[in-house]
Amino acid sequence: MALRSEPTARQLRLAVELRKLRDAAGLTTREAAALLGVSSAQISQIESGVAGVSAKRLRLLASNYSCTDDEFIDALVSWATDRTRGWWEEYRGALPTPFLDLAELEHHATYLREVQFLHIPGALQTEDYARTIFSDRIPELPSDELELRVRHRMQRRAIFEGPDPTPYEAVIHEAALRIRIGDRAASRAQLNALLDLSESDHITVRVIPFDVDGFGGSWAAMMLASGAVPKLDTVVRDAPHATGFIDSEAQLSVLRTLFHRVEAASLDPERSRDFIHRLTKEL
- Cβ atoms 224, 231 nearer than 8 A: no
The per-residue pLDDT for range 162-203, each reduced to its tens digit, is 899 999 999 999 999 999 998 999 999 999 999 999 999 999
**Secondary structure string (H, E, C) spanning 11-68:** HHHHHHHHHHHHHHHCCCHHHHHHHHCCCHHHHHHHHCCCCCCCHHHHHHHHHHCCCC
Instruction: Give the per-residue pLDDT at 125.
Output: 97
Instruction: Give the per-residue pLDDT at 217.
Output: 61
The per-residue pLDDT for range 254-264, each reduced to its tens digit, is 999 999 999 99
Q: Distance (Å, rounded) from C-alpha 135 to C-alpha 139?
A: 10
Give mean pLDDT, residues 39-54.
95
What are the distances in angstroms from CA 239 to CA 96, 210, 242? 15, 24, 5
Instruction: Give the per-residue pLDDT at 214.
Output: 74
SS3 for 265?
Answer: coil
pTM, to two decimals: 0.93
Which domains, ranges and CATH numbers included, belong to the chain?
Answer: 9-81 (1.10.260.40), 93-282 (3.30.870)
- Give the residue among 97, 75, 83 at the shortest CA–CA distance from 232: 75
- Cβ atoms 22, 32 nearer than 8 A: yes
Instruction: Give the per-residue pLDDT at 239.
Output: 65
